[in-house]
Chain A
Amino acid sequence: MLHTSTNLTSAQSIVDVLQAVIEKSAAHIASWATDEDQTVAYDLASMSSAVAAAAELLRHGTGEEAEADLALVYAADVAADLSGRLTGREALWGVAPTELAGIADQVAAGRDPALLDRVAERVLASSEAGPRHLSEDLQLVRSTFRKFAEDRILPVAERIHREDEDIPAEIIEGLAEMGCFGLSIPAEYGGSAEGGADELLSMVVVTEELSQASLGAAGSLITRPEIIGTAIARGGTEEQKQRWLPGIAAGEKLCGVAVTEPDYGSDVAGVTTRAVRDGDDWVLTGVKTWCTFAGRANYLLVLARTNEDRTVGHRGLSLFVVEKPSFPGHEWSMAQEGGGTIEGRAIRTLGYRGMHSYEVRFDRWRVPATDLIGMDDGLGRGFYLQMQAFANARLQTAARAVGVMQSALGLAVDYTRERSVFGRPLAGYQLTRVKIARMAALVAACRAFAFSAARAVTANGGQLEASQVKQLACRAAEWVTREAQQLHGGYGYAEEYTVSRLFVDARVLSIFEGADEVLALRVIARQLTKA
């Protein structure tokens, strides 16, 4: 017999109405808005991400009471958010003020503090947002990486953050042995990708576990091989694949991505670093910035202009793999016979420490023509290849955000159960419990959405979903870590408490891998209004 509960039906009703509103507004906004009308487009995109997550959370569950409660809490939260954004702008959205009236009762049920209290009770008992429903294999993947994270990463995570240290070789070597760097590299080139339906999902699961221990020192190590591996696998010649991919997959060759420039970040199509052909070489000159891990990296993926004619825009860009020795520390430089140099200098940051993000200056650095990805076929394809490669990275970034949030949720649970204020455990207060429940619902929704987006991308779709979940989860991580920190009171502001690291780490997530607004406006809203 199918187990249904009222809460499940209520959540479904809310999601149905919200999906209809998003669809309707998307069509309406498409009918009048230009690129200049960003305000509603941004809200539409953001809400579409949240609504999609609510739908996935509902689909993810097995219909048991705990999951139905969680799905309802989240759906009602999203409805409340949407209604706030709609108020006073109904005409712009093309939605009647009464549009959400039909689900008023369901939303009331989902926002009832008593329901949130019940959800909180479960979360406080388990530190978990809800079941993951992983296959046996993925459970083993999860427990294996979790154990590694607990044994090897957690004990050093605070020190790396506070002292702005390099990531210990031990962590990198351990993860390399476990095959972390080859998750998306085809098996024939030494990776573990064989086209299985769950492959990206594994990457998501591994990323979450590592990020839970440390975003900077572990969870983000996978991002770079994901990007470079995908770019080479899709655009490289056979010789290049054989030459580069096995080393990346084995973790013997570490990677950095040098795309952003001081004057071009979100609008990378405009980058000015140029590559000029000279005999069998290309000569690279220009400044890249925010190149994370550039010091330790052996391979830098560099986006450069190979066509002097700037009017061809992004079609004048190509991707290079610049080979270099691995350097520890915050500053490094190298010189070539003939005068070419590269210099790297780490930018001091609030968080996201361990890999260090560098400004990298290329001055007449010679790169063999065989190191342009795709060689002659790759000329002018750099922008496309890089965009494709970033799709996986968005998904991976969403998983990083989920890991950070899960960590914050766990710390909030532990702390509020132990801390007493006004003679009562913090976890006993209604407001605390409502916070914990909402945090958990958000974590569960982002996780369920990341899982489903991973499956969709594996099946050659999911581009919209990968962007949506990245956009949603990264913002959610800010709020969840903020609430966790707030629950810690003064201690949450002390470096000694892990939650303070989570808060500053989470802040970067909405900036990189597609800034929040740029993803919302230029990827999500465009797709939604295109139809």
Chain B
Amino acid sequence: MSLRIVVTVKYVPDATGDRHFADDLTVDRDDVDGLLSELDEYAVEQALQISENFDDDVEVTVLTVGPEDAKDALRKALSMGADKAIHVEDDDLHGTDAIGTSLVLAKAIEKAGFDLVVSGMASTDGTGGIVPALVAERLGVPQVTLLSEVSVGDGVVTGRRDGDAATEQLEAQLPALISVTDRSGEARYPSFKGIMAAKKKPLEAWDLSDLDIAADEVGLEGAWTKVEAAAARPARTAGTIVKDEGDGGKQLAAFLAERKFI
């Protein structure tokens, strides 16, 4: 049995850059470099590991919904070892919220064909973390989220979810969707050959009409959620410096106790 994996990845503004909102309260992507969301690198890594450990043919497709530059995220994933990429891009997508994004992703995943969808646990910019669940719901497949260990065999995906109170061992019939955490295993660095091979791999571009989605189902207009206001985080205050004159430890403890940390 061959296996078709689709990995959903997001192109996010570099967290070390000067991020801010545009006038319409969407994230301004023009003035800051973007990259493949680090949390999605774990998803790509897990998909590649599944592929390497699987007995039969596996095809790993990376999928992103995003602006022109989002291709960079796809290229990075291809250079890590994914087989092909799909880029959904449409001017009407500007301002799409998580619910709209899940619609586009689900339609694209259906069109691509899949046995397993692998997502990151959240994006590093929005950190909403709800998209994987929404996509699974739209696809009508089981969702096994927040896994820190994954394996696939014989028509099922199994994995471990580490919670605060318990560690769960989970299993789902394929087709299914999983999301993986940042504890699932460090993502590989693309190799030099991988980078050079990436440009020869197929990268398809789809727009909304390819997915039979109407413009008013997505974008700012179709969004179910709305950003009402946004304000820059206030500058950090100077903090407290504890000078150790023999009682540094006590001072630290007092400081923490006062704020009920200990």
Inter-subunit contact A144/B198 (CB<8 Å): no
Most buried by A among B72, B194, B195: B195
Question: A194 vs B189: C-alpha distance in the bound complex, in angstroms?
Answer: 22
Chain B neighbourhood of A148, CB < 8 A: 189
- Per the bound structure, the CA–CA distance linking A68 and B193 in Å amounts to 36
Total contacts A-B at CB 8 Å:
44
Out of A141, A147, A177, name the residue touching B195 (CB < 8 Å).
Answer: A141
Asked if residues A140 and B75 are in contact (CB atoms below 8 Å), the reply is: yes
- Whether A183 and B189, one on each chain, are in contact in the complex, defined by CB atoms closer than 8 angstroms, is no
Does the CB pair A137–B195 fall under 8 Å? Answer: yes
A-B contacts, 26 of them at CB < 8 A, read A136-B199, A137-B195, A137-B198, A137-B199, A140-B72, A140-B75, A140-B79, A140-B190, A140-B195, A144-B79, A144-B189, A144-B190, A147-B189, A177-B189, A177-B191, A178-B189, A178-B190, A178-B192, A179-B192, A179-B193, A179-B194, A182-B192, A183-B192, A192-B192, A192-B196, A206-B192
Which residues in A have their C-beta under 8 angstroms from that of B79?
140, 144
B191 neighbours in A (Cβ, 8 Å): 177-179
A→B interface (CB under 8 Å): 136-137, 140-141, 143-144, 147-148, 174, 177-180, 182-183, 192, 194, 196, 202, 206
How far apart sit A182 and B194, CA to CA, in the bound complex (Å)?
A: 13
Instruction: Give chain B residues whose Cβ lies under 8 Å from the Cβ of A174.
Output: 189
Question: For the complex, what is the distance from the CA of A215 to the CA of B189, rounded to whole Å?
Answer: 21
Asked whether, in the complex, the Cβ of B75 is within 8 Å of the Cβ of A136, the reply is yes
Asked if B76 is an interface residue, CB under 8 A from chain A, the answer is yes
With both chains docked as a complex, state the minimum distance between the C-beta of B204 and any C-beta of chain A, in angstroms.
18
| Complex Cα spacing A148 to B195, Å | 14
Q: A144-B195, A180-B192, A196-B196 are in contact. List 15 more A-B contacts (CB 8 A).
A: A137-B196, A140-B76, A140-B195, A141-B192, A144-B189, A144-B190, A147-B189, A148-B189, A177-B191, A179-B191, A179-B192, A179-B193, A179-B194, A192-B193, A194-B196
A477 to B201, CA, bound (A): 40
Tell me whether A177 and B190 are in contact in the complex, defined as CB-CB below 8 angstroms, given that A137-B199, A141-B195, A192-B196 are known contacts: no
- The residue in chain B whose Cβ has the minimal distance to the Cβ of A174 is B189
> Which residues of chain B have C-beta atoms less than 8 A from A140's C-beta?
72, 75-76, 79, 190, 195, 198
Min CB gap A70→B, angstroms: 22
Identify which of residues 183-240 in chain B touch chain A, using a CB-to-CB cut-off of 8 Å: 188-196, 198-199
- Please give the distance in Å from B177's CB to the nearest CB on chain A: 29
Do A202 and B190 have beta carbons less than 8 Å apart? Answer: no
Across the interface, which residues of A come within 8 angstroms of B35, CB to CB?
Answer: 143
**Partner pick for B188 among A177, A182, A202, CB 8 A cutoff:** A177
From 14 to 70 in chain B, residues with beta carbon under 8 angstroms from any chain A beta carbon are 35
Give CA–CA (A137, B195) in the complex, Å.
7
CA distance A179 to B35 in the complex (A): 22
Residues in B whose Cβ lies below 8 Å from that of A178 = 189-192
Min CB distance A400 to B, Å, is 18
> Chain A residues with Cβ under 8 A from B189's Cβ?
144, 147-148, 174, 177-178
Q: How far is the CA of A148 from the CA of B188 in the complex (A)?
A: 10
The distance in angstroms between the C-alpha atoms of A140 and B199, with both chains bound, is 11
Q: Which residue of B lies closest to A145 (CB)?
A: B189
Q: In the assembled complex, which residues on chain A have CB atoms less than 8 Å from the CB atom of B196?
A: 137, 192, 194, 196
What residues on A are CB-neighbors of B198 within 8 Å? 137, 140
B173–chain A nearest beta-carbon distance, Å: 35
Which of B35, B188, B192 neighbours the largest number of chain A CB atoms within 10 Å of its CB?
B192
Q: Which residues of chain A are within 8 angstroms of B188 by Cβ–Cβ distance? A: 177
- Which residues of chain A come closer than 8 Å to B190, judged between CB atoms? 140, 144, 178
Taking the closest CB of chain B, its distance from the CB of A514, in whole angstroms, is 27
Beta-carbon nearest neighbor of B199 in chain A: A137
Q: Which residues of A contact B195 (CB under 8 A)?
A: 137, 140-141, 144
CA distance A202 to B191 in the complex (A): 12
| Chain A residue contacts of B75, Cβ below 8 A | 136, 140
Most buried by B among A140, A147, A182, A202: A140
- Tell me the complex Cα distance, A178–B196, Å: 12
Contacts of B192 in A (CB 8 A): 141, 178-180, 182-183, 192, 202, 206
**Which chain B positions have C-beta within 8 A of A143?**
35
The residue of chain B having its C-beta at the shortest distance from the C-beta of A136 within the complex is B75
- Nearest chain A CB to B15 CB, angstrom units: 13
**Which B residues lie within 8 Å of A179 (CB)?**
191-194
For residue A202, which residue of chain B has the nearest CB?
B192
CA distance A196 to B75 in the complex (A): 19
- Please give me the residue from chain A that is nearest to B80 by CB atom: A144
Nearest CB in chain A to that of B192: its residue? A179
A177 to B195, CA, bound (A): 13
Taken together as a complex, chains A and B put the C-alpha atoms of A170 and B247 apart, in Å, by: 40
- CB neighbours of A180 from chain B (8 A): 192
Among B188, B190, B199, chain A packs the most CB atoms within 10 A around the CB of B190
Q: Which residues of the other chain, B, contact A194 by a CB distance below 8 angstroms?
A: 196
Chain B residues contacting A206 (CB-CB under 8 Å) are 192
Q: Once the chains are docked, how many angstroms separate the CA of A196 from the CA of B193?
A: 12
B18 to chain A, nearest CB (A): 12
Q: Which residues of B contact A144 (CB under 8 A)?
A: 79, 189-190, 195
CA distance A178 to B189 in the complex (A): 7
Complex Cα distance, B192 from A206, in Å, reads: 9
Q: Give A136 to B72 CA distance when docked, in angstroms.
A: 9
Report how far A143 CA is from B14 CA in the complex, Å. Answer: 13
Closest B residue to A147 using CB positions: B189
With CB as the reference atom, state the residue of chain B lying closest to A177: B191
Complex: how many Å from CA A141 to CA B75?
Answer: 11
Minimum CB–CB distance for A358 against chain B, Å: 29
Closest B residue by C-beta to A141? B195
- Cα distance A206–B195 when bound, in Å? 13
CB proximity of B91 to chain A, nearest CB, Å: 23
**Cα separation A182 to B188 with both chains bound (whole Å):** 18
A137 to B196 alpha-carbon distance, docked (Å) = 7
* Whole-angstrom CA separation of A194 from B79 in the bound complex: 17
Cα–Cα distance between A192 and B196 once the two chains are bound (Å)? 9
The 10 closest A-B pairs by CB, nearest first: A179-B192, A179-B191, A178-B191, A192-B193, A144-B190, A179-B193, A140-B195, A192-B192, A148-B189, A178-B189
CA gap between A194 and B190 in the complex, in Å: 18
Complex Cα gap A147–B189 (Å): 9
Report the bound CA distance from A177 to B188 in whole Å: 9
Distance in angstroms from A149 CB to nearest chain B CB is 10
Most chain A CB within 10 A, of B76, B193, B198, B199, is at: B193
